[in-house]
Structure formats: C-alpha cells, structure tokens
Structure 1
Amino acid sequence: MSISRHFEIVYLLLHKKNVTAAELAEYFEVSTRTIYRDVDTLSAAGIPIYSSRGKGGGISLVDGYVLNTSLLSEQEQEHILMSIQSLTAVQIPDLYGVLGKLSRLFKKETKSWIEVDFSPWGSEEGQRELFSRFREAITSNRIIVFRYYNSSGQQSERRIEPTELLFKNKAWYVTGHCLHSDAYRVFKISRMKDIVTTDQSFEPREPVPFSEAEESMGANLVSVTLRISAEGAYRVYDEFAESMITHNADGSFIIKGDFPAGNWLESYLLSFGKLLEEVGPESLRERLLSNIDEIKDKLNRPS
C-alpha cells in the first residue's frame, strides 16, 4: 500500500538521515523506479525530501526537518490510531508495523480495543485472504474471473473490471464493469467461486454511482409481508431493519419489505420453519407450499 510505504520512508529517513534508493527498494521489495516515484510524490506533498548522486549520495530529508505531530490534537492522534486498528479487518499488509511506528511517533501506548472479522464462523484461511486479493486486483486494475451463482441458482462464468468492495446489509459485494453483460454490476462475494486475478489489465472507466446499481437491483424485487411467531424474535431482530418490523400484541411480528425475487427468496423463507405463520403475496405463498410438497415427496421416498 503506497500510503503506508510513503509514511515508512519518511520514518526511516528521520532516523537514518541518508538511505540509497537501492537500499529502500530492497527493503520494500519494489523497484528503484518505484522508490523515485515515491520521492516525487512526497516532495509534491510538501515533505522536504531530495535525492543526490555520487559518492555518499542517496535520499535524505532537509537537515532539521521534524515531522510536526503538534499539528494534530491529542484527540486527532487517538482517532488516527483507532482508525488504523479498525483497518485490521481488511488485512492490509504490515499494518501493525505502521501502527507501532505511529504510536512511538505520537508517544502513545496503543491498546487492542477492536477485533473485526467479516468472514463467517468456521471460515477457511483462503476466505479471509479474499480482501487482500480483491484489493490488489482493484488497485492494480486487473481483471478477475469467477463462477457466479445468482439468486435463482443459475451458474455463469464472469469476467469483471473490479471497482470497489462494498459492505451492505450484512454482506460483502464486489462492484465493477462486467464484461459478460457489458454493464456495471454488483456481485455478492459469498456467491463467487474459483476466483482468479488475471494478468490482464484494464483502463479504469468513469465511476458509476452506487445508486444506479441499487436501481438495477431493485428492478427484480418483490414486496413481501410475513408473520413470524414470538419464538422467532431472535431471527427478526438479527435479520430485519426496525422500519420493517411491527410488534403484535400476542408477541408475534409482522414484517413488510422488498426482497430479491427468485429461488433464493423461497429458500430463505423456508429456513424459518415453524416460526413462519403467514406469507404474502398469495403467489409467493403458493410457491412455498409447492416447495414444501416437493420436499415431503423427496423425504418420503424409500432409501
């Protein structure tokens, strides 16, 4: 991550005074060309950094330069440290090293106050590494390919130019331009399988407001009304927004909201089992009953 590297270059120069580009390139495992680009970026940002050639040359900071931490209030310094701690959820490499150096720079002791893991319980390590893989593909403009299962259970092969990671409604998504449909699309990460980052690069397109993606997703929604028994309170409060919930006098709940149409919706509602007391519209109720009959038939077949 270049921001992390830029900070660490300044940190090293504050302590070592003069370092060659080759030494920095070896330390960060990048090319010397990348290091010189970093120097240009830092210089443009107002950091008095320069490079000199010849014997004893290298990259240095102007004598007497001090990173003025007094420009940040005590509260601002605390906010920076807490923000970096919260970023551990997306597994940015060497983040703890940056956190330690900032802590020493601010002369503050950091306490581990947050642990965030967006992966499901029991996830394999490969699932937890997806953040790093997606971040690398997005920042380096690399096309990714994968198999995708939509809400109707249909499988397709996809190639996309990834734009960003999105966390919405308790799930992670990847947004980007889908080369299969030649349009901006949103893909739920849990439905993406056999994900591969290719060596094929792409030119970033004009950013698309997420509101447009929401409109396209909303085109396939169905208005649903549910009645869930009082014993289902834990599911109701876990899975539905407060604005969707009406609490009845007998302890049961009425849920009203828009849900994605397709096989996913029927399977989701069936997961409530005996907690589900009423379903509307009637067409959805009939499909659920048909699914239940099919399940009964399969379970009654001789082994």
Structure 2
Amino acid sequence: MKSSRLVSILLLLQTRGRMTAAQLAEELEVSVRTVYRDTEALAAAGVPLYADAGHAGGYRLLDGYRTRLTGLTPGEAEALFLSGVPGPAAQLGLGPVLAAAQLKVRAALPAELRDHADRISGRFHLDAPGWYTDADDTPFLPAVADAVWNGRVLHVTYRRWREPTDVERRLEPYGLVLKAGRWYVVAGPGPRTFRVDQILELAATGEGFERPGDFDLAAYWAAHQRDFLSRLHRAQAVVRLAPGVALAGPAGDAVRANGRTDEDGWTVATVPIESLDRAHGDFLRLGTGIEVLEPAELRDRIAATAAELVRRYGD
C-alpha cells in the first residue's frame, strides 16, 4: 500500500507541479503526517523532491525530472483517454485501477500530448446504456471477470427464457462483452453466450481450463450478432414509406439495398421482420408514414387497429 502511495505522490507532482502537503493528503485520502513521512521516504530514495516554505510553498520535483512515453502521436494519446470508460470499469471493480492507470499515462505524456488528452476527456463522455432503461443488476460481474482473467471454471445457476428456466451450467469463461449497457460472458464448451445479469447463483472453483489458443473474442461476437439477427428476422414484409420516413436496423439496410421510388414519391421495399406481432407494433409507430402491402395478415391487423382507433376517437 505504501509503495503504491509513493508512486501516486510522484505522479501527482509530476503531473500537477507544486502541491502542498494538505493537497496531497486530500488527494490520497491520508493524513498530512503520512504525507510528510512519504515525502521523506521519496527524498531518501534519491527522488529530487523539494519543499518550498511560505504561503505559496509546497512540494515539487526538480525541473525536467519525469518519465516520458515515446512514440505516441496526438491522436493516439487522445484515443487512450477516450477509450477509458469509467462506468464499465467500476462495474468490473476496476475503477481505482483505471484512475491510477490514467494518472500514470497522463504523468508520462509530454505537455503537448497531455493537453490533447485533457481536451478529449473534457469534451467526450461515453454513456453506453440507452434511455428509459435501468441498469442491469449484475452482482456476479466482478467474480465472472476474475474467472475470465485467471482462467477458472465457474458453476452457475442460470435463468433462461424457455423451460426449464433455471438450469445448472459449468462455464469456462473466455471473455466478457458489453453491448448496449448489458454484460455478456462468452464461455465454453461451445462456446456459447450468457447474460451476466441472468446468473442467479455462482460458485467459483479452483479448477483451471485451457482457453483455445485460436479463439478471437471480437470475431466470435461479430459472428454471434450476425447469426442472432439472421435467426431473429425470419419473415419479410413489403412496405411503402412516405418521403422522409426511415426504418432502423436491418429493415433500414434493406430499404437502402432494394428500395424503389413509385410515381407518388414513396419508397417501396421488402424488409425483414422479427414476427407479425413485433412488426405490427413497430409499423404502427410510424403512423401514416408507412403502408404495409404484404403479408396480407399483417396488413389486415394494422387495418383493424386503425379502424378501432377511428371508432374510439371518432365522432
């Protein structure tokens, strides 16, 4: 603990310049007396640390005493600080580690690159979850992350959507993925994908496993998403879209790929749909900006809903 604190003092002074003992104590959440002892230890170890007395005094390092990272371009320095996502890091139990790592990187950057990194941190903030959704309750996320990192088998009770809902599973966790604010663990054998928030019970074991040497988490996840979407959108619908009306996701891609404009200026396209129920709700949200041509069952359901709305709201 003390060695980590000594490094933190060194990096704080290297980054911020002169700091008083009280400022260091507040930053490190220790007493001023502890700061005095730590600075004496740094000086005894040969660190060129000086204390200036007086109202504007404080501790400072000898000018030019710093360790620099070499080879970083301004864009690379910006990317380093843009990629640090404090929310997910905190969920994984790595919040303090991330903060310490960013402090070390920032302290080692030359002044020009440090300014670039600070500008990125002050102008961009990533908030992954969508609006109107509560964060998933993932109490076992740190334990899963630890098993991923250390290559340890997990025994879990997992809740799935089909019967039987609660099942026992032995997982060999290969990696974690954060998608739209929700955590997934990719685990063998298989591999297969599990939602971390659906783990009801977890027992860590001392049993190790061999992660396949050719396993690529990013490539697996990309293939998993393609497979998921192909299984999700098994049906199709033919629609007309008013000028300026757009569909999102795979349906939007289909409109851009095969859409054609008719004599009224509307766009006719064949789009994938998940189910009649889902398409019924999705298309109704577009109001008069869409007309369903096929399938007949979906067109009839939307017409029946429109007729019911007329009866309910009409004179």
* TM-score, length-scaled by structure 2: 0.50
Q: Once the 2 structures are TM-superposed, how far is the Cα of residue 140 of structure 1 from its aligned partner?
A: 2.0
Q: 1:278 aligns with which of 292, 308, 312?
A: 292
Q: Once the 2 structures are TM-superposed, how far is the Cα of residue 137 of structure 1 from its aligned partner?
A: 1.5
2:261 paired with 1:248: yes
2: CA distance, partners of 1:253 / 1:183: 43
Aligned residues: 232
2:158 paired with 1:156: no
1:184/1:88 Cα in 2 relative to 1: closer, same or farther (>3 Å)?
Answer: same
| Higher Rg of the two aligned structures | 2
C-alpha contact (below 8 Å) 1:14/1:66 kept by paired residues: no
CA RMSD of aligned residues (A): 5.1
Identity %: 11
> 1:198 matched to which residue of 2?
202
2: CA distance, partners of 1:291 / 1:156: 34
1: CA distance, partners of 2:279 / 2:166: 23
Moved more, 74-83 or 139-148: 139-148
1: CA distance, partners of 2:268 / 2:6: 58
> 2:133 matched to which residue of 1?
123
> 1:69 matched to which residue of 2?
69
1:224/1:15 Cα in 2 relative to 1: closer, same or farther (>3 Å)?
Answer: closer
> 1:104 matched to which residue of 2?
107
2: CA distance, partners of 1:290 / 1:105: 64
What is the CA deviation profile of residues 202-224 of structure 1, one whole-angstrom value per residue up to 9, with x for unaligned ones? 75554473466357533564252
C-alpha contact (below 8 Å) 1:225/1:256 kept by paired residues: yes
- Tell me the SS of whatever aligns to 1:164: strand
2: CA distance, partners of 1:123 / 1:219: 25
2: CA distance, partners of 1:223 / 1:89: 38
2: CA distance, partners of 1:155 / 1:289: 36
Q: Once the 2 structures are TM-superposed, how far is the Cα of residue 117 of structure 1 from its aligned partner?
A: 1.5
- Tell me the SS of whatever aligns to 1:117: coil
C-alpha contact (below 8 Å) 1:222/1:258 kept by paired residues: yes
Q: Once the 2 structures are TM-superposed, how far is the Cα of residue 286 of structure 1 from its aligned partner?
A: 1.3
1: CA distance, partners of 2:289 / 2:232: 26
What is the CA deviation profile of residues 32-53 of structure 1, one whole-angstrom value per residue up to 9, with x for unaligned ones? xxxxxxxxxxxxxxxxxxxxxx
Letter in 2 for 1:118: A
> 2:33 matched to which residue of 1?
none
- Tell me the SS of whatever aligns to 2:126: coil
* TM-score, length-scaled by structure 1: 0.52
2: CA distance, partners of 1:149 / 1:266: 23
Letter in 2 for 1:104: A
> Could you list the runs of 5+ residues in structure 2 that have no partner in the other structure?
13-27, 29-44, 49-64, 149-153
What is the CA deviation profile of residues 4-29 of structure 1, one whole-angstrom value per residue up to 9, with x for unaligned ones? x9xx789449669xxxxxxxxxx9xx
> 2:54 matched to which residue of 1?
none
Q: Once the 2 structures are TM-superposed, how far is the Cα of residue 277 of structure 1 from its aligned partner?
A: 0.7
C-alpha contact (below 8 Å) 1:81/1:102 kept by paired residues: no
C-alpha contact (below 8 Å) 1:145/1:196 kept by paired residues: yes
> 2:52 matched to which residue of 1?
none
1:138/1:296 Cα in 2 relative to 1: closer, same or farther (>3 Å)?
Answer: farther
Q: Once the 2 structures are TM-superposed, how far is the Cα of residue 66 of structure 1 from its aligned partner?
A: 6.9
C-alpha contact (below 8 Å) 1:89/1:115 kept by paired residues: no
C-alpha contact (below 8 Å) 1:224/1:259 kept by paired residues: yes
> 1:213 matched to which residue of 2?
224
> 2:19 matched to which residue of 1?
none
Q: Once the 2 structures are TM-superposed, how far is the Cα of residue 263 of structure 1 from its aligned partner?
A: 5.0
> Could you list the runs of 5+ residues in structure 1 that have no partner in the other structure?
17-26, 28-60
- Tell me the SS of whatever aligns to 2:129: coil
> 1:80 matched to which residue of 2?
80
